[in-house]
Amino acid sequence: MSLRKVKIAGTGSYIPQRVLTNADLERMVATSDEWISSRTGIKERRIADENEAASDLAYHAARRALKNAQVKPEDLDMIIVATITPDMIFPATACILQEKLGARKVAAFDLEAACSGFLYGLTVGSQFIATGMYDTILVVASETLSKIVDWQDRNTCVIFADGAGAAVIGPSSDSGRIISSYLGADGGGADLVKVPAGGSRLPASFQTVQNRQHYMKMKGNELFKTAVRAMIHAIHASLEEGNLKSSDVDYFIPHQANMRIIDAVVKKVGLSQDKVHINLEQCGNMSAASVAVGLDEAVRGKKIKKGDKVLLTCFGGGVTWASIVIEW
């Protein structure tokens, strides 16, 4: 069977209105703008309203992606939502989004690969397009990390933020295509970042809430080293699969966890700093949404032009990692 080429037909993103600055955080926990800026590169982040859930952010990002792809919700064949902060444990946020968008009763499901979720989602969705089973798929990464971070824990609350990014994918009739995808995971690192309670291992109870186990716990330092190694490995693997060298990359959109992680990866892979997309200064770490929002910003800001080779690389909880090369 010959496989079809898959392209990104349109992107969209949405970040909540409310800005939380490092100065605001100084009033909440024992931290400083100096510490946050120098250790992470983050200056401010966007935080969802109390009544704003992942599907609400996803809806706005999806509407924009559909408009840019000139696709009507009723033309969608499948909806994939990548998130670690779903509206509820179930039903899937993708089903809630399907109803909000007024899409047909098509396949809809959530995918959980933490910060790597958007690239996992693009890769999974691409298989249905490539085989000809479906023609139009919406992939959304939507996160409301502010709802699961412990606002008393300075190790995590200064880093994570909220936002959503979306892409419509479909068959390509020109040179634009996803050239290669590489996905990886290592459950040996499952303890590095997690929300211990609220699942079947430790169901939510008065005790788990009192122990603050329904909030995210992170071993930042270990995660840092693992992230650098995994991202470098994923980049090399995806470039190799596409028969490309790092000098072929025209634009790089890395996961926005920490400026020092990005700098280390860029240096080691030998990419040029001026080709790297950064949004963590204003957006913080939006988990799966970071690269999705970054891609939309790059498209809107005309950082990417037809024919460019665009590299997207992520690392996240699980631990998971992923890298995709696109010819735009």
Residues annotated catalytic, as ranges: 115, 255, 285
What is the footprint of ligand COA within residues 251-270 (CB under 6 A)?
Answer: 257-258
Residue nearest to ligand COA (CB): 220
CB 320 within 8 A of CB 291: no
208 binds ligand COA (CB under 6 A): no
What is the footprint of ligand COA within residues 45-104 (CB under 6 A)?
Answer: none
- Using CB under 6 A, which of 135, 224, 250, 281 touches ligand COA? 224
C-alpha distances in Å from residue 324, one per residue of 123, 124, 254: 8, 12, 10
Q: Residue 254 corresponds to which tokens in the numbers above?
A: 């890395």
Number of residues that bind ligand COA (CB under 6 A): 20
| CB nearer to ligand COA: pick between 41 and 170 | 41
CB 166 within 8 A of CB 61: yes
- Using CB under 6 A, which of 33, 75, 107, 155 touches ligand COA? 155
217 binds ligand COA (CB under 6 A): no
316 binds ligand COA (CB under 6 A): yes
- Using CB under 6 A, which of 115, 140, 168, 312 touches ligand COA? 115
Min separation Cβ 26 and ligand COA, Å: 9
295-303: long-range contacts (C-beta < 8 A, 24 or more apart)?
Answer: 295/8, 295/11, 295/165, 295/167, 295/253, 296/11, 296/12, 296/13, 296/61, 296/64, 296/65, 296/165, 296/166, 296/167, 297/13, 298/251, 298/253, 299/11, 299/68, 303/251, 303/277
154 binds ligand COA (CB under 6 A): yes
| Contact string (CB under 6 A) for ligand COA, positions 4-43, x = contact | ---------------------------x---xx--xx---
Q: For residue 305, give every residue at least 6 positions away whose Cβ sits within 8 Å of its Cβ, in sequence order, or none.
A: 328
| CB nearer to ligand COA: pick between 262 and 271 | 262
Q: What is 218-254 written as a DSSP string?
A: E-HHHHHHHHHHHHHHHHHHHHHHTT--GGG-SEEEE
| CB nearer to ligand COA: pick between 42 and 96 | 42
Cα atoms in the 13 Å half-sphere on the side-chain side of 318 = 24
Q: Please report, as ranges, the residues that interact with ligand COA according to CB under 6 A.
A: 31, 35-36, 39-40, 115, 154-155, 158, 193, 218, 220-221, 223-224, 227, 257-258, 285, 316
